[in-house]
């Protein structure tokens, strides 16, 4: 049957490829893993380690973090409360699109305000898995991987979370990781167990097997 574009009655507009069909093709469910915590708490490190693990098991994944968002989609935003709010709003909307695309989306942003995170939680519903990377600020500051704490103390960085801007701990995160005491491997295992409990993870199919089929 040939559908002509110029006949309004037969115009075929809507998406026929649904999230459910994408998840079926992928062999796993989509989800949003939202890592929150102070700078230096280990959000990005753990998110990338979880992604590596998920990928090796054949999951479709994507990490959103400062590296690929702050200079692109949110390149017009600064670090005021209003801009942080808009930053989280856009990232939240984007993770919803990634989940709709069948992907396990991981985000690694400080996302300091409870209200902002809860907006994403409400939008994303059951997809939203909040992972609180808990770490005393003294330890984050001691690590100071990016040298940002010393700059914040020297007043070179304004509105720095934990020093000159607030961080609000999550009320009821789906998972808490005490990153001052656990290893990366233990952190990954905790996240994977959380995904399994929610029925997100796929059975451990080696990536090689999938490649052979493709």
Give the active site residues. Answer: 111
Residues 153-172 that bind a copy of itself (CB under 8 A): none
Helix (H) or strand (E) holding 178: strand 175-178
* Residue from the set 111, 116, 179, 191 that interacts with a copy of itself by CB under 8 A: 179
Q: What Å distances lie between residue 15 and 9, 51, 122, 125, CA to CA?
A: 17, 29, 24, 22
Nearest to 112 by CA among 38, 44, 34: 38
* Residue from the set 78, 82, 93, 155 that interacts with a copy of itself by CB under 8 A: 93
In the complex with a copy of itself, the residue whose CB is nearer, 141 or 174, is 141
Q: How far is the CB of 182 from a copy of itself (least distance, A)?
A: 7
* Stretch in the footprint of a copy of itself (CB under 8 A) among 59-67, 113-121, 152-160, 161-169: 59-67
Q: HEC string of 12-31?
A: CCCCCCCHHHHHHHHCCCCE
* Residue from the set 20, 24, 78, 122 that interacts with a copy of itself by CB under 8 A: 24
Q: How far apart are CA 46 and CA 183, in angstroms?
A: 10
Q: How far apart are CA 180 and CA 135, in angstroms?
A: 6
* Residue from the set 70, 77, 85, 100 that interacts with a copy of itself by CB under 8 A: 100
In the complex with a copy of itself, the residue whose CB is nearer, 172 or 199, is 199
| Distant-in-sequence, close-in-space partners of 103: CB < 8 Å, separation ≥ 6 | 30, 60, 61, 62
> Residue 119: how many CA atoms within 13 Å on its side-chain side?
14
Q: How far is the CB of 155 from a copy of itself (least distance, A)?
A: 23
Residues 125-144 that bind a copy of itself (CB under 8 A): 139, 143-144
In the complex with a copy of itself, the residue whose CB is nearer, 68 or 164, is 68
In the complex with a copy of itself, the residue whose CB is nearer, 142 or 171, is 142
The answer to whether residue 27 forms part of the interface with a copy of itself (CB under 8 A) is yes
Tokens of 36: 């929150």
| Distant-in-sequence, close-in-space partners of 154: CB < 8 Å, separation ≥ 6 | none
* Stretch in the footprint of a copy of itself (CB under 8 A) among 29-37, 111-119, 180-188, 193-201: 180-188
């Amino acid at each position: 049957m040939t559908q002509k574009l110029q006949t309004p009655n037969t115009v075929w507009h809507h998406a026929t490829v649904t999230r459910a069909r994408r998840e079926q093709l992928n062999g796993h469910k989509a989800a949003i893993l939202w890592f929150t915590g102070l700078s230096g708490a280990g959000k990005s490190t753990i998110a990338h380690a979880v992604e590596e693990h998920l990928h090796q098991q054949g999951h479709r994944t994507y990490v959103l973090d400062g590296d690929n968002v702050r200079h692109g989609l949110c390149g017009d935003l600064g670090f005021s409360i209003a801009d942080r709010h808009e930053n989280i709003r856009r990232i939240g909307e984007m993770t919803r699109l990634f989940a709709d695309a069948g992907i396990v989306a991981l985000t690694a942003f400080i996302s300091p305000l409870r209200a902002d995170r809860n907006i994403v939680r409400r939008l994303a519903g059951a997809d939203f898995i909040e992972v609180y990377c808990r770490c005393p600020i003294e330890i984050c500051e001691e690590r100071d991987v990016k040298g940002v704490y010393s700059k914040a103390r020297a007043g070179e960085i304004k509105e720095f979370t934990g020093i000159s801007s607030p961080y609000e701990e999550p009320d009821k995160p789906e998972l808490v990781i005490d990153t001052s005491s656990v290893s990366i491997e233990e952190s990954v295992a905790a996240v994977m167990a959380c995904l399994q409990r929610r029925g997100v993870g796929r059975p451990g199919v080696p990536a090689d097997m999938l490649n052979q089929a493709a």
